[in-house]
Structure 1
Amino acid sequence: MTEAPGGVNQPLAPEESDRTLHFAGPATFGRIPRLDQVDSAEVAVVGVPFDSGVSYRPGARFGGNAVREASRMLRPYNPAQGIYPYHYSQVADAGDISANPFNINEAIETIEAAAGELLDGGARLMTLGGDHTIALPLLRAVARKHGPVALLHFDAHLDTWDSYFGEQYTHGTPFRRAVEEGILDTSALSHVGTRGPIYGEKDLKDNEAMGFGIVTSADVMRRGVDEVVQQLVERIGNRPLYVSIDIDVLDPAHAPGTGTPEAGGLTSRELLEILRGLAGCQLVSADLVEVAPAYDHADITSVAASHAAYELITIMSKLSAPLRWRKLNG
């Protein structure tokens, strides 16, 4: 941070994009500084290049850097939320967590420990996956700091299955494990954007028993974003909130670059508007997973993902901003 007039510490922000080349320079998220370039960060963007838990198409281990590349075009002012997010709080790119791709149990332990260190340093996390397996260790680390958290889960799939081929830790099981471990507030759990065939009616009954409410992609289409946001915000209340986004919540027309695409999903506009509607919630951390650039074309998926992450970073920046800095910026 640098010192602004009046003795207020001013976050180190990206260089103004109208004076730099979008396609040049280090590929941090939105060209924010690296964590080692600042004293500390209120919001840390961190990658987890791990996809050993996938059940269909692999490649999400390359998602974090694809999202970073796509974020080069993000500009410093967020008109939808009305602030300069990188001027409110110190946002920094913490690089990647290196997790063992050959041992899921060890990888989960590594991710949990590394995320815990960043959280203990005072940062809220915007994590770029990687497959959805990583949500479990991230939730463990967040719950250790905040207690059981509300969960808003954007996904085509429920991700509450018990196991695949006898394995309990995969990208389709993290939220069942999280409920079993008591790290989620079961009075405030919601899936958003689910659709398509499932294994059986028992899947839905299990979700209801775990406490999940479900807003399908068809519900968003029929009821509209504003009504859906109102329902979600009322369910979340003032609880600490964790948001987990599987990019396959978007229709394949908007996100072809993912491992398990399903027809009939949200548009990128609907997702962004729902996220903006969470601005009054107590967002403590978030993840965005399952971007698989090998199946992308024209970077459609990673561009959508970068904008979704930007909206979440903006919300966390406002929540993390020191009071004196908020006053300085009106």
Structure 2
Amino acid sequence: MPRYQPADSLASPRFVGVRTFARLPCIQTTEDVDVAVVGLPFDTGATFKVGARFGPEAIRSASVLLRPYNPELDVHVFTTLSCIDYGDAPVVPGFIQESHAAITTTLRPLAEARVVPLCLGGDHSVALPELRALAAVHGPLALVQFDSHGDLWDSYYGGQKYTHGTPFRRAVEEGLILPERSVQLGMRGPLYGREDLQMARDMGFTVLTTTELLRRSPQEIGDLVRARVSGSPAFLSFDIDFFDPAYAPGTGTPEVGGPTSFQGLAYLRACTGVDWVGGDVVEVLPALDHGQITAQLAAQVGYEFLSLVALERRGS
């Protein structure tokens, strides 16, 4: 059996104990660890509504309902993987580049030990320091991004280069990701111009709007992702605003007309056969949530990512 597993919810109530993801042990180690859940409680990169710094706490709280076996993917996650909750990165509220440096410093030892980090945001700017830590070890990565926004803008507000709308532009410039092996899924909503979508395609990304996405089956999307990633180490970045706000109201920049929770999870589950070296779930803003429905959905997204990693480890 893997060394680190969740508390047994058949032996102790779910409301008992300190909140960790899926009731995993909270420990900072890389020994005998396959996956480490890391909180990135930072939202100074947000350009509209703030409060995603409390996202990791909310996701952890909602995750107590997760169980070890995933029937959709037929994998027993926590008897396949040794998983821990690594705690939070020591961010510096109000200071973007200092916080990004702290996040990279926190994640780098995990990457070097070949531990897969599942990061809980936080605003989407945290993807940049995540990618810096992972690419330093694995080389440039394929990006699979579920989102309603491309986050490829160059700058905001008089030249500010580091916000939650710019992380993947910076990642391309820094050589952290391979656009020609990357996919953006779920783009929608009003834009500043036609060029906003076209610039991603010009960089080499495969881009599917929500309309284009929903015309395809999950199996077709899984085939597309596998063909696009093409054997490269891959990073999953899942912005909770990928979902329609009816299913995920607790987020700072919602876009109406999105996939249901059922549809979105089906697309994610189809992304098997990928060498995942890291992933995140970001932009959960608990103050705007209702009855934890956004937090529960984010916890499920994290669980599905763990399931995909477990499938790969079981197969290898």
TM-score bin (small chain):
over 0.9
For residues 139 and 52 of structure 2, the distance between their equivalents in structure 1, rounded to whole angstroms, comes to 29
Alignment of 1:199-210 (within 5 A): 199-210=192-203
Match of 1:17 in 2: 9
Consecutive unaligned residues in structure 1, runs of 5 or more:
5-9, 324-330
Which string of whole-angstrom CA distances, capped at 9 and with x for unpartnered residues, describes residues 20-51 of structure 1?
Answer: 21222121100011224884411000000000
Moved more, 55-64 or 10-19: 10-19
1:35 counterpart SS class: coil
Match of 1:167 in 2: 160
For residues 250 and 118 of structure 1, the distance between their equivalents in structure 2, rounded to whole angstroms, comes to 30
For residues 183 and 39 of structure 1, the distance between their equivalents in structure 2, rounded to whole angstroms, comes to 27
Percent identity, aligned pairs only, is 43
1:17 counterpart SS class: coil
1:95 aligns with one of 87, 96, 114? 87
Match of 1:146 in 2: 138
Structure number, greater radius of gyration: 1
1:306 aligns with one of 295, 299, 305? 299
Match of 2:60 in 1: 68
Aligned-pair Cα RMSD in Å: 1.6
Alignment of 1:1-330 (within 5 A): 10-36=2-28, 39-165=31-157, 166-320=159-313
For residues 184 and 315 of structure 2, the distance between their equivalents in structure 1, rounded to whole angstroms, comes to 32
2:185 counterpart SS class: strand
Shift of 1:203: 1.4
For residues 224 and 121 of structure 1, the distance between their equivalents in structure 2, rounded to whole angstroms, comes to 36
Q: 2:48 corresponds to which letter in structure 1?
A: Y
For residues 76 and 306 of structure 1, the distance between their equivalents in structure 2, rounded to whole angstroms, comes to 13
Partners of 1:42 and 1:317 within 8 A in 2: no
Match of 1:328 in 2: none
Shift of 1:235: 1.1
Aligned residues: 315
Partners of 2:30 and 2:113 within 8 A in 1: no
Consecutive unaligned residues in structure 2, runs of 5 or more:
none
Shift of 1:262: 0.6
Shift of 1:321: 5.9
TM-score normalised by structure 2 residue count? 0.95
1:126 counterpart SS class: strand
TM-score normalised by structure 1 residue count? 0.91
Q: 1:76 corresponds to which letter in structure 2?
A: P
For residues 183 and 309 of structure 2, the distance between their equivalents in structure 1, rounded to whole angstroms, comes to 20
1:175 counterpart SS class: helix
2:75 counterpart SS class: coil
Q: 1:22 corresponds to which letter in structure 2?
A: R
1:223 counterpart SS class: coil
